[in-house]
Amino acid sequence: MVVRAFFAAVNHFSSRAIVRILLVSDLHYRLPQFDWLVRVAPAFDLIALAGDYLDISSQVSIETQATVILRYLAILQKMGHLAVSSGNHDLTGPDENGEQAALWLASARKLGIPSDGDSLLIGDTLFTICPWWDGPRGHQALETQLARDAARQPARWIWIYHWPPMDSPLCWTGKRHYGDPDLRRWVEQYQPDMVFTGHVHEPPFRPDGAWGDRVGRTWLFNAGSQIGMTPTHITVDIEKGSASWYSLLGSETLDLTAEKAPPRSVF
């Protein structure tokens, strides 16, 4: 059963321009990778975290994990802009609608960290931070959030959404496509400039998978996940018009003006 959640929308604004963005997801309580994030954060204008900070299989309690990760998020927020969306591993209980939610992220919002359901406007770029929703009320709330932000007609629109779309190499596990049909429908309807995802760890490491994909005018990204001290990650340079993926396999770069992602170079 798919379990997702939604929180009330809050707007954040900054006049600072966005040039360099770092996308990371699926850290699953690997603390050395959070340490790496803290070290590199000053080099970026925004850190986009696309869910699954906690690890439901860990021997450390979820409550303890949430406390530790909140501390990391607070440190990152002090270094610059941060946007945090939830994943399925981040759910800690039912919300007021009885749908599972990442309740601990409410504490992040109190620290001024934009998270589930928030909209973050930085210069001419609008970030829509999408929650992992759990039922019909969360689904409807997210549809309302997307429609509201679409009406703002930003110069550049980026979504942070944990699960990549169905029928995309971003969700290819090596055996099957494991994607979200709702996201594909919303992308085709609204055509944001970019969507930052995660959730499916394998695609960038599979010959028929990918870390970057294009649907219409929308670029979608999934950095995947790996063990070790450094997480897989994607950097987007708005000024240069490029995106790059880094992992234990090496690195790849694509041109954001291209009509589709180029052939993979690490295989």
The interaxial angle of helices 62-79 and 31-40, nearest 10 deg, is: 10
What is the tens place of the pLDDT at every residue in 205-250? 999 999 999 999 999 999 999 999 999 999 999 999 999 999 999 9
The overall average pLDDT reported for the chain is 93
Q: Is residue 5 a part of any domain in this protein? A: no
pLDDT value of residue 14: 64
What is the spatial distance between Cα 233 and Cα 230, in angstroms, rounded to a whole number?
9
pLDDT value of residue 153: 82
What is the spatial distance between Cα 74 and Cα 96, in angstroms, rounded to a whole number?
26
Residue recorded with tokens 């919300």: 95
Q: Is residue 174 a part of any domain in this protein? A: yes
pLDDT value of residue 9: 47
The total number of structural domains that make up the chain: 1
pLDDT value of residue 15: 56
| Structure tokens belonging to residue 182 | 């709702």
- Selection from 152, 156, 158 nearest residue 47 by Cα: 158
- Selection from 68, 64, 62, 59 nearest residue 34 by Cα: 68
pLDDT value of residue 61: 97
Instruction: Fill in the DSSP letter of residue 71.
Output: H
Identify the CATH number of the domain in which residue 231 sits. Answer: 3.60.21.10
Global pTM?
A: 0.94
pLDDT value of residue 17: 75
* CA 201, 205, 210, 211 torsion-angle sign: positive
pLDDT value of residue 254: 97
- Selection from 142, 130, 135, 132 nearest residue 97 by Cα: 135
Q: Is residue 103 a part of any domain in this protein? A: yes
pLDDT value of residue 1: 33
| Domain carrying residue 122 | 11-67+82-255
CB contact set of 147 (below 8 Å; sequence gap of 6+): none
* CA 104, 85, 125, 243 torsion-angle sign: positive
What is the tens place of the pLDDT at every residue in 62-112? 999 999 999 999 999 999 999 999 999 999 999 999 999 999 999 999 999
pLDDT of 4 over the 70 cut:
no
What is the tens place of the pLDDT at every residue in 124-179? 999 999 999 999 999 999 999 999 999 998 899 999 999 999 999 999 999 999 99
Question: In 3-state terms, what secondary structure has residue 218?
Answer: strand
Q: Is residue 50 a part of any domain in this protein? A: yes
Q: Is residue 262 a part of any domain in this protein? A: no
Q: Would you say 199 and 163 are in contact if contact means Cβ atoms under 8 Å apart?
A: yes
| Structure tokens belonging to residue 193 | 């400039």
Q: Is residue 175 a part of any domain in this protein? A: yes
Residue 122 — left, alpha, or beta (φ > 0 → left; ψ -120 to 50 → alpha)? beta
Average pLDDT over residues 16-45: 95
pLDDT of 7 over the 60 cut:
no
